[in-house]
Amino acid sequence: MSPVVRFAPSPTGLIHLGNARPALFNWLYARATGGKFVLRFDDTDKERSSREFADAIETDLKWLGIHPDLTVRQSERLELYDAARDSLVADGRLYPCYETSDELARRRSRARALGRPPIYDRAALDLSDDDRKKLQSEGRQPHWRFKLKGDPVHFDDMVRGSQTVNTASMSDPVLIRGDGSYLYTLPSVVDDIELGVTHIIRGEDHISNSGVQIEIFEALGAGTPTFVHHNLLTDAQGRGLSKRIGSLAISELREQGFEAMAVAAMAVLTGTSLPVEVFADLDELAQKLDFSMISHGAARYDEAELETLNARILHQADFGVFAERLASLGVVSEDVWLALRNNITRLPQIAEWLDLIEGKITPRIADEDRAFIAEAAKLLPEEPWDQNTWKVWTDALKQVSGRKGKALFLPLRLALTGRPDGPELKNLLPLLGRKVCLDRLS
């Protein structure tokens, strides 16, 4: 049977580089194995979820190169969760609780004071029918907890190996809120069953959740998927990323001019044994995917590394790869692209360098170099020009002036471009032409 994987964001904010990590791991695994990728929006939180965020997530995934085989929304699948709820209630695994948040907080404080673990004491299981009716008559609506067996839950993880979650040290999790809405856990398990998910690939912060979910899988009479818990991506200071404040948001990285493959490679390869390098596309990256390459330590994002990787992609790219986007930036010539590409780290920066060729620059000629520049203008070769023109010209200048190295080249660069750095002049000279060069040398 072909693998089925899923990426399940809640549409409560913009996805960031850390969210892109599990999305890409799932997509790459599906591509490498001929499997199916499901995009599932966990949007049962009506107050915080929005269609605008869902649309933005789909846009970001498409930009990264992720094209789901199926998209589902939990808000449209409530009947499935209701049926699972009824089944668990009938089996005595889901039970109503009436404590308020304040009451639960006081119980946890009391347990800590007595040296006991601050887990739920299952007091609601001792309530009689009359007790429940009385509480409901007071206006209390029950939240519903799943009754854990309390046995150690064992599973094999494709990254972290053999894992054991001790549910005896955990509170029975709340699956349904007092207003009747579902929290993440039950709909997630129901969808994994109904959609035939075979591999759950997600961050290591979900390991303890896996113990609870395995018990729910079993309570609903279903087999358990294979788990893959990868390390989490953090910022340069080791802090977690947050989609609600937009830290390293995919949309922001896109607007800043980073290439999708650079962002994807950073999201996937950071915190692994593989070097962060250039890949032609996600299919090529998928062939490198091996969960054993994932470190057990944190994956720390390095902004400088992303900038360097992005530059490498641009410097190696043929004109045709970016022709359409370059045209929107005013570059329609392959020769211009080849002359300027090595001086940019993000594609939009090429517009700044284009001014060297097509714009008006202010030549910089030092007083002590004026005679040298005047001689350079006299020796400027006749057209047509090619990449050999620069060498012919500077060789002639060297013989006449006796200058060499920086003393020869820097004054020419400052006069022709107005700046001490930039594209190789042997490539730039034919694009400028003789008339422009004479004007600037004057």
pLDDT digits (tens, 9 = 90+) for 70-98: 999 999 999 999 999 999 999 999 999 99
CA distance 50 to 73: 12
Q: Give yes or no for a contact between 416 and 410, defined as CB atoms under 8 angstroms apart.
A: no
pTM listed for this prediction: 0.91
The reply to whether 118 and 219 lie within a common domain is no
Q: Averaged over 426-436, what is the pLDDT? A: 96
Neighbours of 106 (CB within 10 A): 12
**CATH number of the domain residue 51 falls in:** 3.40.50.620
Instruction: Report the share of the chain in percent with pLDDT over 90.
Output: 90
Q: Give yes or no for a contact between 120 and 172, defined as CB atoms under 8 angstroms apart.
A: yes
Q: Which residues, including other chains, have CB under 8 Å from residue 140's CB and lie 6 or more apart?
A: 98, 100, 178
The reply to whether 71 and 219 lie within a common domain is yes
The reply to whether 37 and 143 lie within a common domain is no
| Average model confidence (pLDDT) across the chain | 94
pLDDT of residue 242: 65
The reply to whether 233 and 303 lie within a common domain is yes
The reply to whether 158 and 209 lie within a common domain is no
pLDDT digits (tens, 9 = 90+) for 395-415: 999 999 999 999 999 999 999
Q: Averaged over 193-221, what is the pLDDT? A: 97
* Cα–Cα–Cα angle for 238, 240, 242, rounded to 5 degrees: 145
CA distances, 111 to each of 20, 85, 191, 232, 396 (Å): 40, 30, 36, 32, 90
The reply to whether 51 and 196 lie within a common domain is yes
Residue position matching structure tokens 């400027």: 380
Rounded to 5 degrees, φ, ψ at 15 are -80, 145
pLDDT of residue 245: 46
Q: Which helix (H) or strand (E) holds 155?
A: strand 152-157
CA distance 424 to 426: 5
Q: Give yes or no for a contact between 350 and 329, defined as CB atoms under 8 angstroms apart.
A: yes
The reply to whether 218 and 242 lie within a common domain is yes
Boundary (domain end) residue, out of 176, 209, 229: 176
What are the start-end ranges of the H helices in 34-165?
51-64, 78-90, 101-113, 129-137
The β-bridge partners of 174 are 145
Residue 374 belongs to domain spanning: 367-441
The reply to whether 285 and 265 lie within a common domain is yes
The reply to whether 193 and 167 lie within a common domain is no
Q: Give yes or no for a contact between 17 and 250, defined as CB atoms under 8 angstroms apart.
A: yes
pLDDT digits (tens, 9 = 90+) for 170-193: 999 999 999 999 999 999 999 999
The residue among 139, 106, 104 whose CA lies nearest residue 124 is 104
The reply to whether 48 and 190 lie within a common domain is yes
Boundary (domain end) residue, out of 287, 316, 345: 316
**CATH number of the domain residue 155 falls in:** 3.90.800.10
Burial of 416 (0-12, 13-18, 19+ CB in 10 A): buried
Cis bond upstream, residue 22 (ω within 30): no
* Cα–Cα–Cα angle for 77, 66, 234, rounded to 5 degrees: 95
What are the start-end ranges of the H helices in 231-369?
250-255, 260-269, 282-286, 303-316, 319-328, 334-340, 350-358
CA distances, 432 to each of 340, 394, 435 (Å): 13, 16, 8
pLDDT of residue 47: 85
Structurally, the chain folds into a number of domains equal to 4
Q: Which residues, including other chains, have CB under 8 Å from residue 244's CB and lie 6 or more apart?
A: 12, 13
The reply to whether 160 and 125 lie within a common domain is yes
